[in-house]
Amino acid sequence: MVASRTSQDRSSQLLHGVLDMCLLSVIDEEASYGYEMASKLRERGLDLASEGSIYPLLSRLQKQGVVEGYLVQSSEGPARKYYRISDRGRQVLRQWRADWVEFRNSVDGVLDGVER
């Protein structure tokens, strides 16, 4: 017997495949630090994205050269690591957005029973 998955489990699995793109999109708007990014994602409906899940992705995106990290002193405590999008990151994000639209349209076609 296959155990049924909760809606949160399904959402988490779907988010896993697109969180890089969502993070990059948020960073493209303005440089941000991890907690700030997690808050912005939650405000936009992606409440499954925690700081703990974001930092490893940011590290990977930085290694890929799509974001740049830098420290900013904070009056509220230790310096915060901010991330900004690189020129390469903007190119990657444009391609991801185009790929996402194509993928979303294909999935919608399957769910709606429409031939494309």
What the block records as the tokens of 19 is: 């969180």
CATH number of the domain enclosing 27: 1.10.10.10
Q: What mean pLDDT, rounded, does the chain reach?
A: 88
Domain that holds residue 37: 9-112
pLDDT tens per residue across span 90-110: 999 999 999 999 999 999 999
Report the number of distinct structural domains present in the chain: 1
| pLDDT value of position 12 | 61
Q: How far is it, in rounded angstroms, from Cα 27 to Cα 85?
A: 6
Report yes or no: 29 and 67 within 8 Å, Cβ to Cβ. no
> Is residue 1 assigned to a domain?
no
C-alpha–C-alpha distance, residues 115 and 63, integer Å? 40
H or E stretch covering 12: helix 7-29
Give percent of the chain above pLDDT 90. Answer: 67
Decide: 93 and 24 in contact? Cβ < 8 Å.
Answer: yes
So what's the pLDDT on residue 62?
A: 97
**Which three-class secondary structure state does DSSP give residue 65?**
coil
Give a yes or no: residue 37 inside a domain.
yes
